[in-house]
Amino acid sequence: MEVVIVPDATAGGELIAEAIAALLSRKPDALLGVATGSTPLPIYQALTAKVRSGAVDASRARICQLDEYVGLPAGHPESYRSVVLREVIEPLGLSEKSFMGPDGTADDVQAACEAYDKALTEAGGVDLQLLGIGTDGHIGFNEPCSSLASRTRIKTLTEQTRIDNARFFDDDIDQVPRHVITQGIGTILESRHPVLLATGEGKADAVARTVEGPVASVVPASALQLHQHATVVVDEAAASKLKLADYFRATYAAKPRWQGL
């Protein structure tokens, strides 16, 4: 696991956008796994700016979802499909044909989970998977004590996660669905390059436990320690409880630039 400490969220977004740009130059039809929420927005904004300036050609890129609410009607503005279309697909000038995600409205949710997991494999696997982290250390919607070998499946949200997400539903927790479809931890670990971005002091505890604590299902993000090419990008506030912060800064400063992120 590589830990990169950046000054702020904007710098983190730019750094990861540069990594995506480099990937697309090597593999124009790369499959990019995207996350939702406020944390990854600087990534999408920086990448969009590069596309619009002509610095990056994303016309053949493919996009896939990390997770989806169960039961929100098609076209609901807070379904993650709608969010990804609004924040990623449309700004990058892509079409819905380039986009794949799980069906949160399916009558047979379990079958939809299995179908999506299979579709990711048949698409050649995820080349770069963007991740956020919850205050309890969850990635995707793999809540604490999720199996580290889990596949795409339905999960029940914790009360804390529903409270955290209520801001997207007019601060009304009763509107937040109780169930989601999420890529499992085992599915996420099959991506070629998982990249986690964490910003703000509120994520500092989760980041420290993920990076410096033991691998444990109670901190699902800690499973990234098992990946041969996982990157954790954090701003100064999110890095504030890392005991090895100075070491992480020194190793990244000494890293050959040709290695990229």
- Give the residue numbers annotated as catalytic, written as ranges: 67, 136, 138, 143
User: Shortest CA distance to 16 belongs to which of 45, 36, 58, 54?
Assistant: 45
Q: Distances in Å between the alpha carbon of 15 and those of 6, 22, 36, 235?
A: 9, 11, 18, 12
Q: What is the DSSP letter of 244?
A: T
- Which DSSP helix (H) or strand (E) runs through 6? strand 2-6
DSSP 219: B
**126 to each of 215, 246, 258, how far by Cα in Å?**
23, 32, 23
Q: How many whole angstroms separate alpha carbon 65 and alpha carbon 75?
A: 15
